[in-house]
Structure 1
């Protein structure tokens, strides 16, 4: 480690010690105490006391990374004279000491006891003890939950006969004893309310449901009865059967009646509120969701109006039986359109290895192409880069022109689908076609791709699927310079199978299926992709020609054949209000087989960088023990067929919009075959764990809510590609220039 780095680290830790040493005692009044720590514990081994900490009203001062009370120390550096600017600033940036409040402590005891009662521990108690040391106090809440109460008998008392008939098949009849938990009883009220709201009971709410409970003295068994009252319009009104509502008419309120925004069949598929059906809250919610998916619609407003009573005989003929409480609703659905066409222009600046350039992107969108809310997107991109210092080549620059088109249908387009299935489906169908032309001094490349895809979400919006039915990519190399061929492709001393494969004409025909599951604390993504299997099946019938490498060819091009699987999971564990532990694991494996012995370059894995093992730059790590070519980063060879990433990151909120993180990363990539140009890169189950690279570091994040700007600095711990022990264990023998990396990125790493 360099002397300058030693000095910087010494000064950094010296400042931390000075800040941490500042005492807040001068801000603590006489006979009062700083709340140093809060502990919640239980005398029952089976009871999880940690879950009860949320009911304690007064917490100690915030700790960065759950350890350092830097905000309090910053506040403590201020003087008592608030007329001085520096004192006001330190107080504003820092956090005032939390003074122990006996009233808040007593209220916390009551909240804890009530929370345990709601969990079925009806005889629970809370004891509060305090430990005082100088002007600091630790509050200890000890919970005595006792034994939980159980529901031995559960009954229903439904006073409305029509509702009783509707709910008959939905009531719980299981008589097995269960824990008396208030939240479970409230969930039953919500469940019944939901059933009735979907069965025509427009005005029903859970306040019409209440419970009574009876227990025998000395027993922990409780008999519970759910009561569902009759309808009362106001406090002085007589109870009557609950009114049940029928949708009599649905009117579409369009801003331009002479030219409807959407075709009638599109409205029928997306509006689930229909005449001569009972009111359904779920149908109303799903209608809102369906209309929100349509790019042609800015927003939707649904209003219901109650109509005078309709003749009961007419209703009887419509619904096969007569009910005296039937009423009548009209629905007005107002649809506000989006701007149908948009054009945007975005200039870009580029810098590739010091070569400066510029690019421009022109995008056109039509949000309602066929009056079915189809989204047409056309994107034109042009890029130019001045390439200098490229010896042995004509003085040419880099040019790229591309055209990307996409047509998205907000519905499932497929034959043999029923109307009900289409209406229930939340799928989006998408067709894409793109073409790109790249001209470089070394080569010219043409790329064409076309795909047909489906995307859909489940009703809870937690799970999303994507299905690429068919995705075809074609890469054509019309020209390669003689210098490039001589130095890289034909020269026996530098011949590289992966490199050659990357500069040959290539055809990929693939299909893939992906799943994404996201909750506030868990994110899981997985995808499986198969290429060449359809063509391989056709080959058994059509007998495609074979090239010199014994590969089957279509249109005189050897098609790629591989299987690829990716799995990615992130788990967030809140430690307190300001600190969260994020755990991440990612596994990817690709296997070329059949018509391929090497993966297409863009399908190979890379390691290092801002979202992987951060002690290495992108493409600087792996595969396995491979060190690169002559100690330099090898763009082609530092790729692999298998990838493993393991990350742990402690995230903490600092102040204002600044967050920080301390992290440890581990991982690497490997090849599944033994390639001569990647020595030490092949995966071996018996030693792969010894080839895991590790690094640790700190990061600062500017959290602007809609996006995060991130700067991470990481130091290597273990380097699997080494010539000496000094390189193998940088944690013992650090070298700043060799072993430390900075990363600037947008968004969280995982």
Structure 2
């Protein structure tokens, strides 16, 4: 239906000619051609002032078609609505084309093509349409043959030499590029701003260029001028400033800053007695900005009369220390409806060091349907979590200098979770100590879980569940049994992530049980009847797990982009464990995986599930592969569309009777990669994104017939369709 609508509206776009005045033309397309292959014309597209109507998925002019469905009479509501939802025809403007030629010429000049020229040609088509072709005639490229410096300020000349300033931009033999020359100005300006020159800016730097007739060589001279106040005063040497006193004062409701002096000093990167440094000023803002208790920071410098000394005054405005929040929720687990609510108390400055202490109490209730043979038909969950967050590294023997340079968070968390189901009761106690920090650029972040303890206790299992699933000889399931036993997990983990907007990746590694296993070996501890070491008579898990996730965004234009994603995870149980804990196992299918399958509906390998139905326990594995490609397009208002292809699956490392066909084998795994395709709608409300995805199976590794295997050629909506609702983008 969606494709039919797109075709209808696209065809309708052809009737947009009724909105094109006589003598005008619809701008159908724009191209850039160059006389030389050395220029990437795609990089020049942003300089085109006038482009054709936008296209959905870079193919269909649906917005124009929507507009064309309207009539000329704007007094009618339907016409106004269609025009508001659509996009009016873009009429070719010769003045805009001439200005584009000038812009493109200037860009080419800035790239070293000093004598470049640009013109355009029109290719008229039927039905009042026209294509514009911009022709680039770059000519020869000019190169820098020599670089000279005219530093008119002696003190700055001395600073540049003594501090050993090195240019990373200019070099002899490189093409003459205005952007490189401007980057050199900015680099020198940043260098001087970080060496005491508060009032220096790049306008104090200029260039002169000399060329020789008949040659493409250019001699460059960089001029650094003396200080000019702008009040008609004579030129003087630029002032180099040193930091004097550092003072702190409260802004807002507090007469006194509610932070210890040591905390203020630790987050102040500016240092008395040192030269003024613009980077240290920004770092100081950043350090105070990351403290939850701090609302905003205002830093001002006061020049002492007749001196080169600046006193620093740091004003701190703080948030309310205590807060209480209440959050209701609605839940839906496989069709079972319920409600939940949480109450959170937070103190943002519990030890007067910007430490955040919070206590969260949560309760949930769900009415379970379709469950027979059990006395209670309800699910209840209660949890209590206490968290203490330190805005610094809490590690003994760290120097003050290291603490100042780091931007870390230390976190202590303790929680207790109580789950009461008709089949069993489950208790989970967790305690963890972890660190989080970012690098200087802010693009990389790190996490280190020094210790993460999980104690899983099963105080009660119903007789019905135990007899039918755990003790039944004919239905014995080792994976199922393992996940309903008491278990102790002691984890150590490290993770790193990177994100620059266009590219992102995550790496996570964790291991559990090695320390306890080593201690057990040293002490000569006895093993239980399952040949496992225990802690307080409870077996502990032992495994290693690694995950890698990569995403690349390719922008075609302002409305269309392509997202590429790959994810790989491997977990290996060993030593004290033959099976991974349920919480650490992988599953496939769902809104963030292969979207032709429902959550936990795919794999492992070619395993079909139990009796053709989704098997919550057995459709898990030790290896996961996700491959996704998604074409995203802006449609209208806050609505975006997506077309996607997903591939992947999960596998087990060992062969388990309960998961026939689920073991990973190099000779077979590629045959077991599932493939899905589909369409999605996103509502982007800036603060959050609502996502609806409709996926169809294309290649199903768990099949009973050839038609089911290659579902893309034999689609069955009732068998192959999956609908997903989620918040946020899939990757």
Q: Normalising by structure 2, what TM-score? A: 0.96
Structure 2 counterparts to residues 635-714 of structure 1, below 5 A: 635-714=616-695
Counterpart in the other structure of 1:320: none
Structure 1 residue 291: deviation in Å?
A: 0.3
Counterpart in the other structure of 1:239: 235
Counterpart in the other structure of 1:55: 47
Query: Aligned pair in 2 of structure 1 residues 356, 89: CA closer, same or farther (>3 Å)?
Result: closer
Counterpart in the other structure of 1:605: 586
1:276 equivalent in alignment to 2:273: yes
Counterpart in the other structure of 2:286: 289
Structure 2 counterparts to residues 110-129 of structure 1, below 5 A: 110-129=102-121
Hey, what's the Cα distance between the residues in 1 that align with 2:706 and 2:25?
A: 53
Of 291, 301, 308 in structure 1, the residue corresponding to residue 305 of structure 2 is: 308
Structure 2 counterparts to residues 313-328 of structure 1, below 5 A: 327-328=308-309
1:186 equivalent in alignment to 2:186: no
Of 101, 115, 121 in structure 2, the residue corresponding to residue 109 of structure 1 is: 101
Hey, what's the Cα distance between the residues in 1 that align with 2:372 and 2:727?
A: 35
Q: Which runs of 5+ in 1 are unaligned?
A: 1-7, 311-326
Structure 1 residue 629: deviation in Å?
A: 0.4
Of 126, 134, 145 in structure 2, the residue corresponding to residue 152 of structure 1 is: 145
Hey, what's the Cα distance between the residues in 1 that align with 2:3 and 2:540?
A: 59
Deviates more, 1:344-353 or 1:124-133: 344-353
Q: How many residues align?
A: 726
Hey, what's the Cα distance between the residues in 2 that align with 1:717 and 1:592?
A: 33
Deviates more, 1:153-162 or 1:569-578: 153-162
Deviates more, 1:59-68 or 1:540-549: 540-549
* Contact 1:307–1:329 (CA under 8 A) maintained in structure 2: yes
Q: Deviations over 1:44-66 (max 9, x none)?
A: 22321111111111100111111
1:728 equivalent in alignment to 2:709: yes
Structure 1 residue 301: deviation in Å?
A: 0.8
SS in 2 for 1:137: strand
Counterpart in the other structure of 1:71: 63
Hey, what's the Cα distance between the residues in 2 that align with 1:622 and 1:182?
A: 57
Hey, what's the Cα distance between the residues in 1 that align with 2:606 and 2:140?
A: 58
Of 372, 382, 389 in structure 2, the residue corresponding to residue 391 of structure 1 is: 372
Aligned residues: CA RMSD: 1.8
SS in 2 for 1:365: strand
Counterpart in the other structure of 1:557: 538
Counterpart in the other structure of 1:4: none
Hey, what's the Cα distance between the residues in 2 that align with 1:435 and 1:523?
A: 34
Structure 1 residue 470: deviation in Å?
A: 1.0
Of 497, 500, 504 in structure 2, the residue corresponding to residue 519 of structure 1 is: 500
Structure 1 residue 439: deviation in Å?
A: 2.0
Query: Aligned pair in 2 of structure 1 residues 182, 17: CA closer, same or farther (>3 Å)?
Result: closer
* Contact 2:119–2:134 (CA under 8 A) maintained in structure 1: yes
Query: Aligned pair in 2 of structure 1 residues 16, 372: CA closer, same or farther (>3 Å)?
Result: same
Structure 1 residue 284: deviation in Å?
A: 1.1
Of 235, 260, 263 in structure 2, the residue corresponding to residue 263 of structure 1 is: 260
Structure 1 residue 16: deviation in Å?
A: 4.0
Hey, what's the Cα distance between the residues in 2 that align with 1:599 and 1:435?
A: 22
Hey, what's the Cα distance between the residues in 2 that align with 1:67 and 1:14?
A: 11
Counterpart in the other structure of 1:745: 726
Counterpart in the other structure of 1:317: none
Hey, what's the Cα distance between the residues in 2 that align with 1:475 and 1:504?
A: 8
Structure 1 residue 682: deviation in Å?
A: 1.0
Hey, what's the Cα distance between the residues in 2 that align with 1:13 and 1:110?
A: 37
SS in 2 for 1:648: strand
* Contact 2:246–2:311 (CA under 8 A) maintained in structure 1: yes
Structure 1 residue 223: deviation in Å?
A: 1.5
Hey, what's the Cα distance between the residues in 2 that align with 1:538 and 1:158?
A: 68
* Contact 1:699–1:712 (CA under 8 A) maintained in structure 2: yes
Counterpart in the other structure of 1:319: none
Of 313, 338, 353 in structure 2, the residue corresponding to residue 372 of structure 1 is: 353
Hey, what's the Cα distance between the residues in 1 that align with 2:680 and 2:364?
A: 34
Of 338, 342, 358 in structure 2, the residue corresponding to residue 357 of structure 1 is: 338
Structure 1 residue 504: deviation in Å?
A: 0.8
Query: Aligned pair in 2 of structure 1 residues 389, 715: CA closer, same or farther (>3 Å)?
Result: closer
1:405 equivalent in alignment to 2:386: yes
Hey, what's the Cα distance between the residues in 2 that align with 1:525 and 1:740?
A: 31
Structure 1 residue 43: deviation in Å?
A: 2.6
Counterpart in the other structure of 1:485: 466
Query: Aligned pair in 2 of structure 1 residues 729, 282: CA closer, same or farther (>3 Å)?
Result: same
SS in 1 for 2:473: coil
Structure 1 residue 607: deviation in Å?
A: 0.7
Hey, what's the Cα distance between the residues in 2 that align with 1:740 and 1:440?
A: 31
Structure 1 residue 14: deviation in Å?
A: 6.7
Q: Normalising by structure 1, what TM-score? A: 0.94
Of 247, 250, 257 in structure 2, the residue corresponding to residue 254 of structure 1 is: 250
Hey, what's the Cα distance between the residues in 2 that align with 1:748 and 1:365?
A: 30
* Contact 2:568–2:625 (CA under 8 A) maintained in structure 1: yes
Of 163, 166, 174 in structure 2, the residue corresponding to residue 171 of structure 1 is: 166
Counterpart in the other structure of 2:395: 414
Counterpart in the other structure of 2:440: 459
Structure 1 residue 543: deviation in Å?
A: 2.6
Query: Aligned pair in 2 of structure 1 residues 251, 635: CA closer, same or farther (>3 Å)?
Result: same
Of 69, 73, 84 in structure 1, the residue corresponding to residue 76 of structure 2 is: 84
* Contact 1:545–1:554 (CA under 8 A) maintained in structure 2: no
1:161 equivalent in alignment to 2:154: yes
Q: Deviations over 1:280-318 (max 9, x none)?
A: 1111111100001111111111122223114xxxxxxxx
Q: Deviations over 1:675-724 (max 9, x none)?
A: 11111111122222221111111111111111111111111111111010
